[in-house]
Structure 1
Amino acid sequence: MTIRAAVLREAASPRPYGDSRPLHIESVQLASPAAHEIRVRIAAAGLCHSDLSVIDGNRPRPLPMVLGHEAAGEVIEVGAGVRDLTVGDHVVFSFVPTCGHCAPCRDARPALCEPGAAANGAGELLGGGRRLRDSHDAALHHHLGVSGFAEEVVVSRQSVVRVDNALPFEIGALFGCAVMTGVGAVVNTARVRLGESVLIAGLGGIGFAALLGALASGASQVIVADVSAHKLQQALALGAHAAVNSGDADAVEQVRALTRGGADVGLECAGVVAALDFTWRATRRGGRTVTVGLPHPSQMLSISPVQLVAEERTLQGSYLGSCVPARDIPAYVALYQSGRLPVDKLLTHRLALDEINEGFERLARGEAIRQVILF
């Protein structure tokens, strides 16, 4: 079948992206689902920094590729062996397909699924191979097992989670990355406890989701840090207790003064090594620093092992929010539906597929929290 999709053929195009147009809207051939795969009509797909990092070359991926990994849609076909989904079910995508059998999966850490990571790195589906071909019959790679910037997709059954059909698609899409990653980093990785102070550095979609998650978790003090005065004001409007411009020379001292020595938990959500260094230094003795950002692989962080030991500090990464998607996505949706996790406030722009390059330029300029393409 023929669909329209956004294809990236070359990374590191010059900005502005509205002029260079790195993503090409093409007619693409989509194969039928193989065993244990499904076909989904995409209804909404979010623009995320993880997509932008492929476009700008900071996250090398095999090209050409149909981008997009944060999406929601409706099941329209199921392959052989799929017995727990039916046509008409609504699903949210998870950007790490999980085999259920490798050591991390057996240890309830599906974000680290080894076959899932290998498939994502190769630009293939979990079952192997690709289901997308361009108009010249050349294969196209999948992005993180999803490739959600398309009218329809074929994915592994293990790349989706069924959700309440009453959930609006444009809201449901946010749970596949921004919410799962940001809230999960708070709840699963940092394990924020009632009454703790939390610093969130970097206010993109994930940082704002982490803010909502920290408030929902009962943090007594949530401090946000960013170089954008506008985003700091937005965060205060969403409930942050204090805001610090991380570009200030005394930004670390400001956080320490607000928290009497440093935050109990520091969350770095910017994907910039300088932001992680700032977050580490602004976390207290005995505190926990968690990073969810993905800077270029060549960038390195320098810390003192003596400080790590003598202050009993913890520095930990968080991928996919350390989530079990089948467990956590429905739980976070329920929190949203109860009014305790207002993720709808993260949605700032609604776009058509043809506006995708302008959307990524807006994201690169830091002028949006979450933008969603509606199909």
Structure 2
Amino acid sequence: MTVVRAAVLPAVGSPLEITEIDLPEPGPGQVRVRLAAAGVCHSDLSLMNGTLRVPVPAVLGHEGAGTVVATGEGVTHVAPGDGVVLNWAPSCGRCPACARGEVWLCADALTGAGAVYARTAAGTDLHPGLNVAAFAEETVVAASCVLPVPDGVPLAEAALLGCAVLTGYGAVHHAAQVREGESVAVFGVGGVGLAALQAARIAGASTVVAVDVTPEKETLARRAGATEYVVASPATAKEIRALTGGQGADVAVECVGRATTIRTAWDSTRRGGRTTVVGIGGKDEQVTFNALEIFHWGRTLSGCVYGNSDPEKDLPVLAGHIRAGRLDLSTLVTEHIGLEDIPGAFENMVAGRGGRALVRFDQAEL
């Protein structure tokens, strides 16, 4: 056993506790990783408030990258010293979804989230919140949960590839399939929304509208690729139509997960347009449509899980965009923090402040 510091969720609705935990050595098919960085993602907030359910107490954090410290028996694709990106939703390759090539819908992707992987100093069993438990100085994960960091990608920034960038880029390129010359509206300028804005620019979108509740995020949005910025209001759909020749956007990407935002995104698209929902909403968030408008507008509304991405295939593509200067990971990050600052980062998230907060475990570099 090795003692490391981690952010533990003792129970749903409870505040995070920064405490020491006992981490075992990797067993067969496992990898031990020393974290370089971890992103503070809204999905972890969804675990904290019970929107997403996993066993507790749990170590949260699912967007991370680090260095392999040790490997268990049978692990061959990585070795000690390798830089790796954590993959919180590994595919099994056997279920019907995987057989269809829809690895993002793998039935077994979160099986490991229910396992006991560590213990507190007092001996309480701990679960990994979304398989990888990245809010810790070190973690032990299944070998399928680590992918080599592509060449040319800084290790700390590679953490963002594990969720925000795969999700935002995939929502635009895989789920919405944005084509060159189309107009795109992105709702929510957090980490995923900023990645979606960059993806829309990479896809060659003609008009890219960013929508958020606060005017302070306009600079962030424009740096990521937005050509227009709209502060959310009851008139948002009308404003977007005015910015797109009176027709509405070809594509809307909703990164918030609220019924009102989903409905506004739908209303903001042109006749025959496409709305892709990325945000994770609660089961009580009900979106309503009447039968006539569904017929009349001919729009498409679709969900999106993990950007409909296949990390093994998509990470090399993203690395190519990074090396070519088309994708800038640093523009997603608005705050570098330490492990003890994670609760405050969630407070900022709830208040709508900033983009991605990145936990840097090497304090000397903060």
For normalisation by structure 2, the TM-score amounts to 0.94
CA distance in 2, matches of 1:152, 1:286: 48
Structure 1 equivalent of residue 129 of structure 2: 143
Structure 1 equivalent of residue 237 of structure 2: 252
Q: 2:45 aligns with which of 35, 43, 52?
A: 52
1:360 and 2:337 are equivalent in the alignment: no
Superposed counterparts of 1:205-216, under 5 Å: 205-216=191-202
CA distance in 1, matches of 2:205, 2:152: 30
- Alignment gaps of 5+ in structure 2: 362-366
Structure 2 equivalent of residue 325 of structure 1: 311
Deviation at 1:360, TM superposition (A): 1.7
Q: 1:79 aligns with which of 72, 75, 78?
A: 72
Deviations 1:95-152 (A, max 9, x none): 21211111111222111110114x16xx33xxxx322111222211111111100111
Deviation at 1:361, TM superposition (A): 1.5
Superposed counterparts of 1:68-107, under 5 Å: 68-107=61-100
CA distance in 2, matches of 1:278, 1:328: 30
Amino acid corresponding to residue 348 of structure 1 in structure 2: T
Structure 2 equivalent of residue 31 of structure 1: 24
Q: Which runs of 4+ in 1 moved over 3 A?
A: none
Deviations 1:278-306 (A, max 9, x none): 00011111111000001112211112233
Deviation at 1:330, TM superposition (A): 2.2
Asked whether the 8 Å contact 1:6–1:150 carries over to 2, the reply is: yes
Asked whether the 8 Å contact 1:288–1:315 carries over to 2, the reply is: yes
Deviation at 1:76, TM superposition (A): 1.3
Structure 2 equivalent of residue 196 of structure 1: 182
Structure 2 equivalent of residue 293 of structure 1: 279
1:11 and 2:12 are equivalent in the alignment: yes
* Between 202-211 and 363-372, the greater mean CA deviation after superposition: 363-372
The percent of aligned pairs where both chains have the same amino acid is 39
1:109 and 2:110 are equivalent in the alignment: no
Asked whether the 8 Å contact 1:195–1:219 carries over to 2, the reply is: yes
Superposed counterparts of 1:344-359, under 5 Å: 344-359=330-345
Amino acid corresponding to residue 112 of structure 1 in structure 2: L
Structure 1 equivalent of residue 163 of structure 2: 177
**3-state SS, counterpart of residue 282 of structure 2:** coil
Structure 2 equivalent of residue 220 of structure 1: 206
CA distance in 1, matches of 2:61, 2:203: 29
1:238 and 2:224 are equivalent in the alignment: yes
Deviation at 1:166, TM superposition (A): 4.7
**3-state SS, counterpart of residue 109 of structure 2:** helix
Q: 1:236 to 1:165 in 2, by over 3 A?
A: closer
Amino acid corresponding to residue 76 of structure 1 in structure 2: V
How many residue pairs were aligned?
A: 359
CA distance in 1, matches of 2:136, 2:21: 9
CA distance in 1, matches of 2:232, 2:354: 19
**3-state SS, counterpart of residue 295 of structure 1:** coil
Deviation at 1:218, TM superposition (A): 0.5
Structure 2 equivalent of residue 272 of structure 1: 258
Amino acid corresponding to residue 65 of structure 1 in structure 2: A
**3-state SS, counterpart of residue 65 of structure 2:** strand
CA distance in 1, matches of 2:194, 2:47: 22
- Alignment gaps of 5+ in structure 1: 14-21
Q: 1:97 to 1:220 in 2, by over 3 A?
A: same
Structure 1 equivalent of residue 364 of structure 2: none
Deviations 1:24-50 (A, max 9, x none): 111111122222221111110111111
Question: What value does the CA root-mean-square deviation take over the aligned residues?
Answer: 1.5
* Between 34-43 and 190-199, the greater mean CA deviation after superposition: 34-43
CA distance in 2, matches of 1:166, 1:193: 27
CA distance in 2, matches of 1:28, 1:368: 30
1:373 and 2:366 are equivalent in the alignment: no
Amino acid corresponding to residue 96 of structure 2 in structure 1: A
Deviation at 1:342, TM superposition (A): 1.2
Asked whether the 8 Å contact 1:89–1:165 carries over to 2, the reply is: no
CA distance in 2, matches of 1:236, 1:76: 39
CA distance in 2, matches of 1:34, 1:49: 31
**3-state SS, counterpart of residue 108 of structure 2:** helix
Amino acid corresponding to residue 7 of structure 2 in structure 1: A
